[in-house]
Amino acid sequence: MAEAPVLKTALSISGASCQGCAKKIRNALEPLTGDINLVEVNLEEQTVALPESADAAEAARIVTDTGYPAEPVTAAEENTSSCCTSKKEGSGDNDTDPSEKTEQIDSAQTAAPESSNSDQVHLAVTGATCASCVNTIEKALLSVPGVSHAHMNLADNTATATGAADSARLIQAIESAGYGASEIEDEDAADDRKQEEDKKQYKALLVKMAISLGLGIALMIWGMGFGSMMVSSENQITWLNLGILTLGVMIATGGHFYIGAWKAFKHHNANMDTLIALGTGTAWLYSIVVVSIPEALPEMARHVYFEASAMIIGLINLGQALELRAKGKTSEAVRRLLDLRAKTARVIRDGDEQDIPVEEVLKGDRIRVRPGEKLPVDGVIVEGSTRIDESMLTGEPMPASKVEGDEVSAGTLNTHGSIIYEATRVGSETALAQIIKLVKKAQGSKPAIGRLADKISSVFVPSVMLIAVVSALVWYNVGPEPAVVHMMVAATTVLIIACPCALGLATPMSVMVGVGKAAEYGVLIRQGDALQTAGKIDLVILDKTGTITEGHPAVTRVHALDGDENKLLALAAGLEQHSEHPLAEAIVAKAKEEDIALETVAGFEALNGKGVIGQANGQTLRLGNRRWLEAEGLSVDSLSDAAKCITDEAGTPLYLALGTELLGVIGVADAIKPDSKAAIARLHESGIKVMMVTGDIEATARAISDAAGIDDFRAEVLPEDKADVVNDMRNKGYTVAMVGDGINDAPALAASDVGFAIGTGTDVAIESASITLMRGSLHGVPDAIEISQATVTNIRQNLFGAFIYNTLGIPVAAGLLYPLWGILMSPILAGAAMSLSSVTVVSNANRLRLFKTSQKPVQHKEPNS
């Protein structure tokens, strides 16, 4: 057997904060090492270990290009690292106290969510209007030393920079590029402020639209009906005054376009403002030249276009107002989550109950919640019982029963009894706050399909300006008379119609709505790429315990030879009440559920691998497996059929005997969740294959697989080998989703194309997955896949519309139809078409808000109070 290559710490990296980052680094380095398993990423120490034979310099270049700045480790750093490593290795698993291990895991779980955002700066950006602005801002942020990744979201005008740079330098970089920026410190306050600012801007745009369109339409009516659009000696002074009035209106209602264009010019950039300013400015300048020196132009060329300049600005302002209104609807999911927050809490302090702002609640405070009230913070019930509607957080339709000791979450609705609970997480630590944070982060992410627009936008505006110049030259040199007029109209129309607003909005608008729609179904999408990839899944691999099954054993069958099942349960539970084994707890719980009085049993003893024994009614009471009872001289053949029914249901048969008399058998199993089979059927309907991977024996795995309708399974798989199963199926050409809930599922979740973590599972599993299912139901998997497919389809529609619009619009604006039918597009029509394209993209994205999966979501209902 060949020796495994020796790995050594070869790179120091930055910006890698989760298992998803580690996965990207390993995949990027696979061509260099030849095997993804020969790359070890240590997120805590921010290092990468490679085989000794690997070229560290080349590896550093590859990792840096992947988005994580890296450099080879020097000899001194390597010695320090190995020293630290040897200390850790020396402690060894065998030398570690189990309680210490638990503390280490708990610590890692607690720290994991925080680390993912600790190196990010969120900025509010002003002045960005199109895809070219997005590209310019992202480049500006990436130019700041220490920034490893930058993303600008045009849909909500925010930017995120990941790395070691401080906010002041990032703001300076954006301002140097010609835009405004400020750091978002309180996101909730920023949301409220943005909502108010958007309302004011919407009203201002409508006023500007009314003024500019009013002037433009009046000029058109006057020129066509009562005067003339041609300049003559009789109306020259009138047109000169109207030209000055038009300039004033252009500055008052469209000044922001000219300011933006000037800033872009100063910073050697070009954007939507540049095209609008050039288009309207050219029309006005041409017209003022005609008015000032009409004799310098042929008589047929003495046409003014003041009304075009005013109307174009009016139409663009109208388009932006409609776009702003529609964009506000895309954030509805987040606003609904924000609306779940309670404003006050009834806190019990020093024996007195007092209502205080929720911001003043402290950990350890006791809070009373009455029927119909929202829970202000997370906590644990210490008094009372109730039913709580958690539908807006989890998508679970039925209110959940809660008793003393149960955890409760902020934002959920108390529907039944009055309870007192102790606050455990407050402020930004609550589950609701974390969900809002994750949704916002995902809404700002950019899937791979969106990067196509980025590549095009980087050269789009300069290309349009070049096309405008070329079309002007063609019209001037070979066009019909008046050549000057046709040249000006063609160039202006090309500049106006080609504004890349729709291109910049195509992806982020759909992502925002799609991520918000997923949140309504209790599905938290953490990464934009996962939103896109989920729609391509053709194989779902499921963990068994806690994913397909309930995760804890329960009594499934009770069979008494004399027919008295209550007596059988009373004896078995009386014996098992002395045991802490999960199977014992299931039997005791069943007896209590049936309200059966437990028999008194003495002399309890647990026999490892056999069962339990005690004394009842002066006789020996045994409960255990078949082999043990037969070794004790008891025949269990009379219970063979009942035992087979239990094993067929993936249960464990436990035989009960009193003295030499066999009493019956009890079946205990980790029951399949009520909706697992239906969720798996939904996956099959979508043409997706389902596989189960479990550490259980083959008989149990086969029984669960058959009962749940699973296509294939792998049994007796060690936790560390689950990732190998995932990689094997990926190598066979499948796009693989892994669904799990335990720490042992984390490597497999990270290795899959899309990892789904059951929200009731561990923090480590959730941190390793790109999608989190807030409830324990598998229905979240087909929900996420259906939403992904709908969102990606919507993005493609938007991109197709934006590309086709510009592909067809620019040639038509340049005059392609003139030789055929004598049609030359008006700049006014170009302005209307440009505005309409943006509104169309935003409206199409908002169609996703109406999307419903085959599992109908449950909307949160406010209490009648």
Residues identified as active-site: 543
| Contact in structure between 694 and 712 (CB atoms under 8 Å) | no
CA dihedral of 790, 795, 800, 801, whole degrees rounded to 10? 100
Of 392, 366, 379, 365, nearest in space to 430 by CA: 379
Two structure tokens written together for 511:
């992502």
Non-local (6+) Cβ contacts of 43 within 8 A are 16, 17, 18, 19, 21, 22, 115
| Contact in structure between 73 and 82 (CB atoms under 8 Å) | no
Of 651, 487, 693, nearest in space to 554 by CA: 651
Return the sign of the alpha-carbon dihedral for residues 490, 495, 501, 504.
Answer: positive
Return the sign of the alpha-carbon dihedral for residues 809, 813, 819, 822.
Answer: positive
The type of residue at 66 is T
Non-local (6+) Cβ contacts of 732 within 8 A are none
H helical segments located in 709-752: 722-731, 746-751
Binning the chain into helix, strand and coil, the percentages to the nearest 5 are: 55, 20, 25
DSSP 636: -
How big is the chain, counted in residues? Answer: 865
| Contact in structure between 851 and 790 (CB atoms under 8 Å) | yes
Question: Rounded to an integer, what distance in angstroms lies between the CA atom of residue 127 and that of residue 125?
Answer: 7
Three-class SS of residue 677?
A: helix
Question: Rounded to an integer, what distance in angstroms lies between the CA atom of residue 525 and that of residue 515?
Answer: 6
Largest CA distance in the chain: 127
Q: Torsions phi, psi of 834, nearest 5?
A: -65, -45
Non-local (6+) Cβ contacts of 287 within 8 A are 239, 243, 304, 305, 306, 309
Of 135, 138, 134, nearest in space to 148 by CA: 138
Of 220, 126, 108, nearest in space to 178 by CA: 126
The type of residue at 864 is N
Q: Is 851 left (phi over 0), alpha (psi -120 to 50) or beta?
A: beta
Kindly give the pairing relationship between strand 619-624 and strand 652-658: antiparallel
> Would you tell me the crossing angle of helices 698-708 and 676-685 to the nearest 10 degrees?
70
Q: Torsions phi, psi of 556, nearest 5?
A: -105, -30
Angle, vertex CA 43, rays to CA 39 and CA 48, nearest 5:
30
Question: Rounded to an integer, what distance in angstroms lies between the CA atom of residue 267 and that of residue 282?
Answer: 22
